[in-house]
Chains A and B, each alone.
Chain A
Amino acid sequence: MTAAAEGAPALRPAQSRRTSLLQSESAQGFALISPTFLYALVLLVVPILVVIAHSFWTQNYLTIDRTFTLENYRIALTEPIYRDLLMRSLRISLLVSFFTVVLAYPIAFYISFHGGRHKGLWLFLITIPFWTSYLLRVMSWKVILGYNGVLNSGLLGLGIIDEPSTALLYNTSAVVITLTHAWAAFAILPIFVSLEKIDRTLIEAATDLGDGPLRRFMRVTLPLSVPGIVSAILIVMIPTVGDFVTPRLVGGKDGVMIANAIQAQFGKGANWPLGAALSVTTMAIVTMMAAATVLIIRSAARLAR
């Protein structure tokens, strides 16, 4: 009795200390993120708001008419050229994320399950392409895929083709190949992390219950690595929709994507409001597509059980 009676008031200061600690902790937290938060606010949120605002205005040569209009969105959504470019961009980004994940998964799997003591070395090697600029990597694909490029000379030398193929460069597949290569590491890392998190005894348990290598991969490893696959797809898909350097350099006429059109509106086209409306439309559609992808993969994983 006495112990309890004595204990009760003793708890009070401890509790209040905890609350004040919590307050100071969250205050510390806000202090910690505030530089980043301000940075994001000024350089991300404000520009997006500016873009959204512009999308409802009109431009007359060099002056912006600030009367509210939906005309830009009508053009963005109904003009065949923009619809086609948007569809092509989405198709390319889907293809790129698909191929990137399919190619990245075995690499991530190998490093995680067979990397042994050299996991760090393997991950380091994967970052080597990033020592050169993105532009240089795209340019080097031009060298590989070009008319007198490495691939054509190689195929000619082997006698597989008689004259250099023009089908390699300046089309959609060149864009897909280049982007797949450029984004590989970004897909390997999240998949690697999700594979690393899988408790290896789960795989032993699956083996113990009679599963061979393929079955235990399909029933345990793959479903448990779905979060990594989803993040890899999102990480690759979202930025590739808006990529404009790669289509510009290796895409040719058939490889033009929505970002090139947007860039044209903000540049030579001198129609910022239309460019803004195209941007906002693309953002909205990418968001919807990303959400749809997550849902589809999650439910597919659930069905696979």
Chain B
Amino acid sequence: MPERSKSERPMIEIAHVTRSYGAFKALDDASLTIREGEFFSLLGPSGCGKTTLLRMIAGFDNPTSGSIAVDGQEMLGIPANRRPTNMVFQSYAIFPHLNVEQNVGYGLKRLRLDATEEKRRVEEALAQVSLTGLGKRGATELSGGQRQRVALARALVMRPKVLLLDEPLSALDKKLREQMQVELRRLQQAVGITFILVTHDQYEALAMSDRIAVMFGGKIAQVASPKEIYQRPVNRQVADFLGGMNFVKAEIVEENGASMTVDTLGFGRVKTDKPAAFVRNGKAATLGIRPERLRVLWDDAKDKHEVAGTVVDRHYFGEITHLIVDIPGLEKPLSVTETNNFGADDIPVGAPIRLAYDPDALVAMAD
């Protein structure tokens, strides 16, 4: 994705925010800066605190300690109805007693605009979400996708500084969800408003975001661009959450500033970048390599870096095949993803196999 020129101005500053319920900490000393005009995702499994954080930004929940500022203004003590944020709820929360137009215009009523201006803004918002002409439709006569668009229009029409989206696509079926991902991304670029998306779907976060914060157990584990998060996860948990990862035990031989040399049983001696958050644990380290970064070597093909083993299992997924390859010396067999255009789906279980890899794809991470 080409990087757009974007303001570096912080829109949301979350500083040391903790939210405790008795002894349980839903959010534990979370700090985060979200820039103006950014499409930012909070990604994590259920119960990781991402929704809690979003609701605190909206004002529906208050931090036990720490501070939240939106556009330089401290939000503590400001009730939800006076914050410059608007929310798209997971259930969409469409008012059942109002039609589409009245739903979208709900927040404008309070602004006491003149009738033509109000109508113009409602029409504009409906056009933005491709619902033109459905204004008189009753709330109960809408499909799931349409309800989602109404919820989006109802928030956008308020021209918030920050739009908060709480798992907005989780109730839609797969096709519609993928279509809405593209549309949401396009919409965000068109309006230029800061979007904060809460999701547990890593592909959704990777496809839509400028940056992602991965959260586990109330803590923010990593904040980075989708590519960085996917390719250079800071620890096993992050790596595991975002798709498959083969973990390889390694022993540190030499450390040299930002890089280090390690010995592995399966992959031999490897020179790799040392991640900033790398935690040293004696001489032991963990390397990871994504299944799609391992490539099957056919017939007599050779590569500078290769490992040899035996296929122990095979899973067919239509466009790709997952091969489980046992490599002598590795404690766990490697998972390999290969596209099916060369016949990976025909490799028999038990066959010997050679795999090529790029040493750069072997990344060191904390346990």
Contact = CB atoms under 8 A, between A and B. Distances in A.
Interface stretch (A35-43, A205-213, A243-251): A205-213
A205 B93 contact: yes
Interface stretch (A165-173, A196-204, A254-262, A270-278): A196-204
B89 interface: yes
Nearest to A224: B97
Contacts of B87: 204-205, 208
A208 B95 contact: no
A208 B54 CA distance: 13
Contact of A208 (B58, B91, B98): B58
A36 to B, nearest CB: 33
A215 interface: yes
A223 interface: yes
A305 interface: yes
B102 interface: yes
A211 B107 CA distance: 8
Interface in B66-107: 79-82, 85-87, 89, 91, 93, 95-98, 102, 106-107
Contact of A199 (B79, B86, B91, B155): B91
Contacts of A224: 96-97
Interface in A121-163: none
Contacts of B106: 206, 209, 219
A220 interface: yes
Given A199-B91, A201-B89, A204-B89, A209 B102 contact: no
A205 B89 contact: yes
A201 B91 contact: yes
B78 to A, nearest CB: 12
Q: Give the size category of A's interface with B.
A: 10 to 19
Interface string B156-197: 001000000000000000000000000000000000000000
B158 A209 contact: yes
Contacts of B79: 207, 212
Contacts of A205: 87, 89, 93, 95, 154
The residue among B96, B97, B110, B111 with the most chain A CB atoms within 10 A of its own CB is B97
B316 interface: no
Nearest to B82: A210
A208 B80 contact: yes
B60 interface: yes
Contacts of A199: 91, 93
Nearest to B107: A209
Given A209-B158, A212-B81, A204 B97 contact: no
Contact of B154 (A209, A215, A223): A209
B89 A305 contact: no
B107 A210 contact: yes
A212 B83 CA distance: 12
Contact of B97 (A201, A210, A223): A223
The residue among B79, B87, B155 with the most chain A CB atoms within 10 A of its own CB is B87
Interface in B90-140: 91, 93, 95-98, 102, 106-107, 110-111
Interface of A: 199, 201-202, 204-212, 215, 219-220, 223-224, 301, 305
The 7 closest A-B pairs by CB, nearest first: A209-B107, A205-B93, A201-B93, A207-B80, A208-B87, A207-B81, A210-B110
